[in-house]
Amino acid sequence: MKVTVECLGLPTLSAVIGKKTDVQVGNGASLSDLVHQITGLFGSEAREVLLDGEGQLDLTIQVMVNDEGFLAREDLPKRELRDGDRIRFMLLVGGG
């Protein structure tokens, strides 16, 4: 099954995987599975951007599937991907 991954505000990741790329995932794959698949496919540069020192999605990265809104970190392993999903990785930006 194929999903589309987009990188917004993450120039280092975009340089490695592209601003928009299709990724093949297995049936029943979760968002957590996708993150680890991307880091496996694209190596240390993708790992450095996406993962923290403990191998979890970095706290500065937000994830959105289709137009459902941002997902909480604890929901990433539970959110099963479907064929045609659009996953956006975005840099968390604060202001004031």
Report d(CA 87, CA 96) in Å as an integer.
28
Q: What is the pTM of this model?
A: 0.88
Q: Residues 6 or more apart from 77 whose CB is under 8 A from it?
A: 30, 31, 32
Report d(CA 67, CA 6) in Å as an integer.
13
Report d(CA 22, CA 37) in Å as an integer.
12
Distances, alpha carbon 96 to alpha carbons 23, 37, 51, 93, in Å: 36, 35, 26, 10
pLDDT of residue 46: 92
pLDDT in tens, 35-82: 999 999 999 999 999 999 998 999 999 999 999 889 998 999 999 999
Q: What angle do CA 7, 35, 74 make, to 5 degrees?
A: 105
Percent of the chain with pLDDT over 90: 80
